[in-house]
Amino acid sequence: MYQFSFQNPTRIEFGLDKEKNIGTYMSQFATKKVLIVYGSERIKQSGLFDEVVQNLRDNHIEFIECGGVKSNPTLSKVKQGVMLAKQFGADSVLSIGGGSCLDSAKAIAAGSLYDGDVWDFFTGKKVTQALNIFSIMTLAATGSEMNNGGVITNEETKQKYPIHGFSLFPKVSVINPKLQATVSRDYLVYSAADIIAHSIEGYFTATVQPELINLQVEANIKTVIRTTEILLQNPDDLDARGELAWAATLALNGLTYLGTSGYSYPNHMIEHAMSAICDVPHGAGLSVVMPAWMTWRKDHNPKQFTRFAKEIFGLNTADEGIAALKNWFDKIGTPTTLKQLNISGQVLDDVIDNATQNAIDWRMDKTYNRQTIADIFALAK
Amino acid sequence: MYQFSFQNPTRIEFGLDKEKNIGTYMSQFATKKVLIVYGSERIKQSGLFDEVVQNLRDNHIEFIECGGVKSNPTLSKVKQGVMLAKQFGADSVLSIGGGSCLDSAKAIAAGSLYDGDVWDFFTGKKVTQALNIFSIMTLAATGSEMNNGGVITNEETKQKYPIHGFSLFPKVSVINPKLQATVSRDYLVYSAADIIAHSIEGYFTATVQPELINLQVEANIKTVIRTTEILLQNPDDLDARGELAWAATLALNGLTYLGTSGYSYPNHMIEHAMSAICDVPHGAGLSVVMPAWMTWRKDHNPKQFTRFAKEIFGLNTADEGIAALKNWFDKIGTPTTLKQLNISGQVLDDVIDNATQNAIDWRMDKTYNRQTIADIFALAK
């Protein structure tokens, strides 16, 4: 096993009705003024917003709102949130939504204690402090609820880039499976693809990968496949909903990368270009990229790709495993071809250019260049 | 999945030479005066103690020593440590050793900020504060390095009881597989039994046990079996040593109990009586208790016992799985019968009495009484 440092201080409050205590949890961190970050107005129609606000009031916590966060969250919204938080004198941010909301909230939390341009944190500046971050997750996918990162799209420069920093771990994240039961069928299957992507990046790219970590990653992937199939039949199965949510958290809270080394995130690097240029839902982009990337990559690490086929699908060869994953994506209804996303011609060229720049900015190994990225996309037509 | 709260703030520093930075890590918590808790003088002969002390000096941290902690650590030693820490004005404790040292250090850390008898914390008093706790693990087994508990034996009352509290999470724990490579063959196999025991308690007793948790527990058990067999052949295989150490941490840092409910620790409850009365090494006692308890228990949860047989050993029935575990314990050389531990006659009666009292004090379900505990021991003759 390779050496590592690990600390994950986030407190998880998992279960029914936990969101009704959010103000109580926040008051344990001396919260007085909070900016609430959310997406659509659905959280108001459902009554969730009122329940949260009631508990904030019970705990004498003042709040203002920053709604309208979209999938593939934008820098302009983050800047709006930073301005609001500064004007209000917020000491905390509360995200009510999925990963897009929480990633925005994290960037706002960092930007609110910084005089310069918040985008600096996405281009090299270290995050050293942030407002306290809290979250109520209405979608399971990103793992943002228990990690110290986020991803934001700069609409002007067409860059979809990450931010990291120890102070970006949420203080408390609420995961109530019931709040996630109203997720659309599309976003359920995109989420499944996203969690599998988080799982396989390290699994297939690491040069050192302990067997214990392999087993943990496979446990997560098996859980995603099993619970997604249950939820497509019965969206209200809260046990399956809970397991899917927890697999999502475990896939990117650091644990499944411990003791590994030499890994990278090529599928994410490529997909971010699709989201940045075409505003494709992240999970939908990933389910297109993954089978193509796996086909392109399999001969670099044939043992691990064969293992994947056997452990996840009970099959014998790397090719069979990749085909089985693609078939499974087709079966659940998340895209597997560029055609399904209407990406071709000049748009595809722009995506390839964008991904090529990502490869440089993310310091990917030299195998990723304009030609090889085009080769990978050619396998996804 | 059942509802839960989870937070584990311990920082793990894993890898070669990490112990040489312990003073640097401690200074990040403003440490000025530390009580060093350890077992035998071997850490001085090996040079480990000097290396640690050098880094403490480099960081201007004063220290005093409390050596002589034994396996099945005692209340009298804890009381000595509390006295020393108070006299010295320690702000921290540093354990250099295995779980016995760290458990003692935790009790000392709690007792040093308390005017009453430290045993109060083992009989119901809540731990609300403690000195900062740091550890360098020279043995992988207890999981104490990343949890908030410990176990101490009161020699006078013959009670081996636990202490818990959020402030008992170590601030930083160092796991350097190389420091664990000199563990004796006996303690290697006892540790394997201990980790498996931590894994199966929840696995076999929980009334709610999510499939994802099953998979994680099985990943840990498979890792223990595989790495122990490697290490018996080659004690210096640091990859295997590291994986075993990390499996030990994961088996009792809370993760493999999340979303489960209704579990208990019957094997530990019974074994603690053996350690309390006969000073049996904890892991050696557990390898005797487990096959007996499993045989006694299997019909309560036949599906899970059959699953264990299949997943861990590729066998078909609960009985075959239990026999395979017992055979594996025999093969690696950890005891499986009371006879091997010389426990019989009046001593066995005393052990049964002690375990019966544990069942009451631990609020075990009513199936555990003097008769059933005797029945379980009868299966271990």
Contacts A177 to B, Cβ<8 Å = 1
Of B9, B215, B242, which is closest to A9 when you measure between CB atoms? B9
Residue type (1 letter), B64: I
Are B213 and B123 in the same domain?
A: no
Per-residue pLDDT, B368: 97
Reported as a pLDDT band with limits 50, 70 and 90, residue B141 is: confident
Reported as a pLDDT band with limits 50, 70 and 90, residue A327 is: very high
Last residue of a domain, one of A159, A179, A199: A179
Task: Phi first, then psi: give them for residue A164, nearest 5 degrees.
Answer: -140, 160
pLDDT > 90? residue B295: yes
- Distance CA(A105)–CA(A142), nearest Å, equals 14
Contacts of A378 (CB under 8 A, 6+ apart): none
Q: Does A23 touch chain B (CB under 8 A)?
A: no
Contacts A259 to B, Cβ<8 Å = 14, 242-243, 246
| Residue B4, domain member (yes or no) | no
Per-residue pLDDT, B125: 97
Contacts A212 to B, Cβ<8 Å = 219-220, 223, 243, 246-247, 250
Which CA distances in Å does A91 have to A22, A34, A80, A129, B370?
Answer: 15, 6, 16, 12, 57
What sign does the CA torsion over A138, A139, A140, A144 have? negative
Q: Does B1 touch chain A (CB under 8 A)?
A: yes
Q: Please, which residues 164-203 of chain B have a Cβ atom closer than 8 Å to chain A?
A: 177
Are A159 and A208 in the same domain?
A: no
| Neighbour count for residue B202 (Cβ, 10 Å) | 23
Last residue of a domain, one of A179, A206, A239: A179
Of A1, A10, A250, which is closest to B246 when you measure between CB atoms? A1
Q: Position of tokens 């004090």?
A: B361
Are A35 and A135 in the same domain?
A: yes
SS (H, E, C) chain A: CCCEEEEEEEEEEECCCHHHHHHHHHHCCCCCEEEEEECCCHHHHCCHHHHHHHHHHHCCCEEEEECCCCCCCEHHHHHHHHHHHHHHCCCEEEEEECHHHHHHHHHHHHHCCCCCCHHHHHCCCCCCCCCEEEEEECCCCCCHHHCCEEEEEECCCCEEEEEECHHHCCCEEEECHHHHCCCCHHHHHHHHHHHHHHHHHHHHHCCECCHHHHHHHHHHHHHHHHHHHHHHHCCCCHHHHHHHHHHHHHHCCCHHHCCCECCCCHHHHHHHHHHHHHCCCHHHHHHHHHHHHHHHHHHHCHHHHHHHHHHHHCCCCHHHHHHHHHHHHHHHCCCCCCHHHCCCHHHHHHHHHHHHHHHHHCCCCCCCCHHHHHHHHHCCC
Per-residue pLDDT, B140: 84
Contact yes or no for A195/A332 (Cβ under 8 A): no
Are B168 and B193 in the same domain?
A: no
Share of chain B above pLDDT 90, in %: 98
Q: What are the tokens at B41? A: 């003088």
The domain that holds B313 is classified in CATH as 1.20.1090.10
| Residue A1, domain member (yes or no) | no
- Closest chain A residue by Cα to residue B6: A12
Q: Does A18 touch chain B (CB under 8 A)?
A: yes
Reported as a pLDDT band with limits 50, 70 and 90, residue A341 is: very high
Are A366 and A218 in the same domain?
A: yes
Q: Of B65, B9, B197, B4, whose CA–CA distance to A12 is shortest?
A: B4
Are A46 and A63 in the same domain?
A: yes
Residues A260-293: pLDDT tens digits? 999 999 999 999 999 999 999 999 999 999 999 9
Of A1, A210, A243, which is closest to B212 when you measure between CB atoms? A243
Are A325 and A260 in the same domain?
A: yes
Residue numbers of the domain that contains B334: 184-378
| Residue A213, domain member (yes or no) | yes
What is the average pLDDT score of chain B? Answer: 97
Are B53 and B196 in the same domain?
A: no
- Distance CA(B82)–CA(B76), nearest Å, equals 10
Reported as a pLDDT band with limits 50, 70 and 90, residue B1 is: confident
Of B1, B212, B246, which is closest to A259 when you measure between CB atoms? B246
Are B203 and B277 in the same domain?
A: yes
CB contact under 8 A, B211 and A220: no
Are A169 and A310 in the same domain?
A: no
Contact yes or no for B219/A311 (Cβ under 8 A): no
Kindly provide the ipTM of the predicted complex, given to two decimals: 0.96
Per-residue pLDDT, A141: 87
| Residue B6, domain member (yes or no) | no
Reported as a pLDDT band with limits 50, 70 and 90, residue B342 is: very high
Residues B2-42: pLDDT tens digits? 999 999 999 999 999 999 999 999 999 999 999 999 999 99
Residues B186-238: pLDDT tens digits? 999 999 999 999 999 999 999 999 999 999 999 999 999 999 999 999 999 99
Are A246 and A266 in the same domain?
A: yes
| Residue A5, domain member (yes or no) | no
What is the average pLDDT score of chain A? Answer: 97
CB contact under 8 A, A216 and B216: yes
Per-residue pLDDT, B74: 97
| Neighbour count for residue B376 (Cβ, 10 Å) | 22
Question: How many pairs of residues across A and B have Cβ atoms under 8 Å apart?
Answer: 106
- Distance CA(B133)–CA(A259), nearest Å, equals 24
CB contact under 8 A, B8 and A8: yes
| Residue A2, domain member (yes or no) | no
| Residue B291, domain member (yes or no) | yes
Reported as a pLDDT band with limits 50, 70 and 90, residue A140 is: confident
Number of domains in chain A: 2
- Counting every residue written for chain A, the total comes to 381
Last residue of a domain, one of A179, A212, A237: A179
Per-residue pLDDT, A256: 95
Q: What are the tokens at A81? A: 């949130």
Of A5, A10, A11, which is closest to B11 when you measure between CB atoms? A5
Residues A54-111: pLDDT tens digits? 999 999 999 999 999 999 999 999 999 999 999 999 999 999 999 999 999 999 999 9
The domain that holds A137 is classified in CATH as 3.40.50.1970
Are A302 and A212 in the same domain?
A: yes
CB contact under 8 A, A9 and B6: no
pLDDT > 90? residue B134: yes
CB contact under 8 A, A219 and B226: no
Per-residue pLDDT, A14: 98
| Residue A225, domain member (yes or no) | yes
